């Protein structure tokens, strides 16, 4: 396995483990409690990640399938371009003042999902991202582009897309952790 692919796999595994640790000792009530009426619960954070990954991965899969049919095989490490790197950095936690981005309509979490269901959905999407990475590690992930499903006209490399998924996961798992910390400080 290529070192860059191993690094991406390790980051996916870390996000899965972070979500497991976060959800492990939560009651259903703690998982669905919103810290404020306009804020998301821990379950909604996880559900948002599942929904977003599903939509993002669908766009990436069709680009990967086209690339495979054209024989666009790996030419080097899966590194995001400068814009993809910048975009991913904007998603990294902690949330910077003035950097709160509203979730696009098609990536919003379901209304009041249960913690168990949201967590299971997140883990299922994690497995799909793992599967995508394993199935496409031999492609030119740096050179193959896909249309961003949330921002019309914006295209990223598959390598950028994977890094954006990971940064987005870190952001919302951090957000969920902050919800838990705040609740523990109140309680």
CATH number for the domain including 139? Answer: 1.20.120.450
pTM value surpassing 0.85:
yes
Instruction: Provide the number of structural domains found in the chain.
Output: 1
Domain that holds residue 124: 3-186
Q: Do 78 and 141 form a contact (C-beta atoms < 8 A)?
A: yes
d(CA 173, CA 39): 14
Nearest to residue 126, comparing CAs of 44, 22, 14, 25?
Answer: 14
Q: How confident is the model at residue 187 (pLDDT cuts 50, 70, 90)?
A: low
pLDDT at 96: 75
Mean pLDDT of 10-26: 95
pLDDT digits (tens, 9 = 90+) for 60-69: 999 999 999 9
Cα angle 102, 105, 109 (rounded to 5 degrees) comes to 85
Give per-residue pLDDT as tens, 99-143: 677 888 999 999 889 999 999 999 999 999 999 999 999 999 999
């Amino acid at each position: 396995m290529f070192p860059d692919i191993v690094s991406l796999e390790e980051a996916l595994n870390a996000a899965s483990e972070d979500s497991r640790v976060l959800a492990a000792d939560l009651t259903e009530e703690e998982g669905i409690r919103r810290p404020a009426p306009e804020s998301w619960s821990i379950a909604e954070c996880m559900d948002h990640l599942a929904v977003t990954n599903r939509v993002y991965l669908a766009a990436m899969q069709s680009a990967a399938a086209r690339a495979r049919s054209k024989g666009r095989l790996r030419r080097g490490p899966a590194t995001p371009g400068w814009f993809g790197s910048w975009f991913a950095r904007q998603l990294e936690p902690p949330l910077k003042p003035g950097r709160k981005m509203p979730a696009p309509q098609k990536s919003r979490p379901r209304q009041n999902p249960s913690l168990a269901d949201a967590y299971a959905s997140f883990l299922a999407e994690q497995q799909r991202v793992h599967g995508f990475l394993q199935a496409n590690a031999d492609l030119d992930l740096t050179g193959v582009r896909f249309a961003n499903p949330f921002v019309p006209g914006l295209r990223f490399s598959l390598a950028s897309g994977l890094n954006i998924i990971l940064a987005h996961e870190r952001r919302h798992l951090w957000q969920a952790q902050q919800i838990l910390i705040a609740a523990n400080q109140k309680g």
